[in-house]
């Protein structure tokens, strides 16, 4: 058998272990205001890192100061879908813990199985990504401490076209207060959509919030993460296939101005 044949066989063997999306199909979106039943940590201290990142936890146990050195989650993909962004980001930031937060149970289960399959097929890789089924619009502070995150992503969120449903949108002035809380000063929030009205809405909300500032276009173009926003996810790939437009907004978390005494 030639080397090329061996590589092809190995590739087929690895891909065979990946879950098939057709067995995990779900509705495109869920109502974030409805009640769902899943476990929720009481506080960030109660998040079970051992189930999400066993490789990192095992490494830290060999150090007497493990509690101080145990890495924290730094990237969060809100509404992560089928996990495409996480998979692309993982090798770019191999020492950074990141998590996808997804409300739909079948989709979050698919991402979990996908990550486990990738870890099994690629020993030592993809150990820094995980997924949790939760409602980030309700429980984000239950997972992250103040200033814990350095990047937070909102890729192709539900546009909720009807005005009466705008309160369901994942970007709003009220929710930006929570995102500002969990983002460190200097942290970045990334949004992208193929709906121009929603893109304008998200940009307006971010521009109107005192703790976020738009990043200059030159810096955006130099950011390797921005290049993944439109291509890493299933939704982004669908938009590209159909020749659609995308509208993104990238903002930095800034410190509040000194209060007037």
Beta strand pairing call for 73-78 and 149-155: parallel
**Phi, psi angles (nearest 5°) of residue 188:** -125, 140
CA distance readout (Å), 65 to 11, 47, 52, 75, 95 = 40, 19, 21, 24, 18
Binding-site residues for S-adenosyl-L-methionine, in ranges, read 79, 102-103, 135-136, 155, 233-235
- From CA 226, how far away is CA 209, in angstroms rounded? 22
Is 35 a catalytic site residue?
Answer: no
Catalytic residue among 35, 67, 158, 200: 158
CA distance readout (Å), 187 to 74, 86, 167, 181 = 10, 18, 25, 11
Q: What Rg value do the Cα atoms of the chain yield, rounded?
A: 19
Residues designated as active site:
158
């Amino acid at each position: 058998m030639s080397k090329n044949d061996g590589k092809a066989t190995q590739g087929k063997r690895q891909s065979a272990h990946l879950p098939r999306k057709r067995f995990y199909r779900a509705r495109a979106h869920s109502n974030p205001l409805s009640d769902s039943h899943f476990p929720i940590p009481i506080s960030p201290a109660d998040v079970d890192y051992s189930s999400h990142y066993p490789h990192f936890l095992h490494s830290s146990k060999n150090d007497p100061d493990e509690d101080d050195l145990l890495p924290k989650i730094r990237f969060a993909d809100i509404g992560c879908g089928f996990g495409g962004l996480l998979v692309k980001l993982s090798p770019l930031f191999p020492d950074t813990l990141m998590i996808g937060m997804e409300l739909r149970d079948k989709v979050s289960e698919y991402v979990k199985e996908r990550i486990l399959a990738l870890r099994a097929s690629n020993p030592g890789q993809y150990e820094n990504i995980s997924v949790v089924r939760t409602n980030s619009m309700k429980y984000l502070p239950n997972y992250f401490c103040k200033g814990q995150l350095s990047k937070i992503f909102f890729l192709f969120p539900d546009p909720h076209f009807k005005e009466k449903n705008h309160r369901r949108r994942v970007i709003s002035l009220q929710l930006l207060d929570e995102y500002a809380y969990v983002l460190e000063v200097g942290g970045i929030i990334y949004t992208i959509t193929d709906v121009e009205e929603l893109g304008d809405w998200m940009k307006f909300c971010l521009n109107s919030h005192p703790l976020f500032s738009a990043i200059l276009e030159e810096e955006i173009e130099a950011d390797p993460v921005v290049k993944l926003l439109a291509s890493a996810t299933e939704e982004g790939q669908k938009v590209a296939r159909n020749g659609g437009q995308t509208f993104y907004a990238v903002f930095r978390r800034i410190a509040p101005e000194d209060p007037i005494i």
